[in-house]
Amino acid sequence: MWLFFYKNMEFLPKEIKKYSEYHTEKEPELLKKLNRETWAQVMTPRMLSGHIQGRALSMFSKMINPQNIIEVGTYTGYSALCLAEGLTKSGSLHTIDINEETTSIARRYFNKSEFSNKIHQHIGNGLEIIPKIDCNFQLAFIDADKENYSAYFDLIIEKMDINGYIIADNVLWSGKVVNNQLDNETRALDEYNMKMMNDERVETMLLPIRDGLMISRKIR
C-alpha cells in the first residue's frame, strides 16, 4: 500500500488527506500563498512540508517554546515559518540552504511575516556553517541532502540543550527504506534511522507523518 501511494505522488489517499486537513488547524494565509507559489514556480514542489506537516511542526515548536531553532534545508521557507511560531519573544531561528534561488523566495516570505527579525538565513554548506553559529538550540529540523543527515546530526547534537529535540524529515523516503531499494540516499537514511536507535544520547520515535519524521530528544 505504501508503494502504491508513493508511485502516484501522494503520501496519503486523497480522501484521507482531505479529511485530515479538514480536522487540522487552518493553514495561515501567508503560508497558503507560499504553498501556491512553490507549486506554481519551483521544480520540485513536493519537497514543501505542506499543511498537515506544517501544523505538526508548529505544534511541536509551541510545545517546546524554544529560544533558538536551527533548520538545515530552508527550501522556500515554509517549514521555517511554521517552526518560528513557537519561538520565545526574544527567540531566533537559523536556517541554512545552499540553493540561492529557493532561498530568495523564502526571504520574501520571511519579510512579509511577523518573524522577519527572528529568522536568520545562511546560504552555503551546512557542514561548514553549523559550527560557526554561536548559540545552543532547543529544537532542530533536518531536511536537506539525505547523505549528510548523520553528519548534520553529529554537529547539531553538540549544540543541543538537554531535552532539546532534533526532527529529521523524509526518513521513510517514499517507502524505499522498507523495499530494499538501497540507492545512496536510501542507504544514508536507513543508516540515520539506525543511528538514532543506537545513539545513547537520544531517545527516538519515528512518526509516519507524510514522508516520515524522526523525532529524537537529547537525554544526555
pLDDT digits (tens, 9 = 90+) for 141-183: 999 999 999 999 999 999 999 999 999 999 999 889 988 767 9
What pLDDT, on the 0 to 100 scale, is given for residue 146?
96
DSSP symbol at 208: -
Cα–Cα dist 170/217, whole Å: 18
Q: Where are the beta strands (DSSP E) in the chain?
A: 68-72, 92-97, 119-123, 137-142, 160-169, 202-207, 213-218
Q: What's 43's domain CATH number?
A: 3.40.50.150
Q: Which residue has the higher pLDDT, 188 or 43?
A: 188
Q: Which residue has the higher pLDDT, 49 or 82?
A: 82
Grid coordinates representing 142 are 533536518
* Of 5-19, 32-46, 56-70, 89-103, the least confident: 5-19
> Averaged over 37-41, what is the pLDDT?
93
Mean residue pLDDT of the chain comes to: 92
* pLDDT interval class at 137 (50, 70, 90): very high
> Averaged over 11-36, what is the pLDDT?
91
Number of structural domains the chain divides into: 1
For the entire predicted model, the pTM comes to 0.92
State yes or no: pLDDT of 60 exceeds 60.
yes
**Structural domain containing residue 62:** 2-218
Do 170 and 146 form a contact (C-beta atoms < 8 A)? Answer: yes
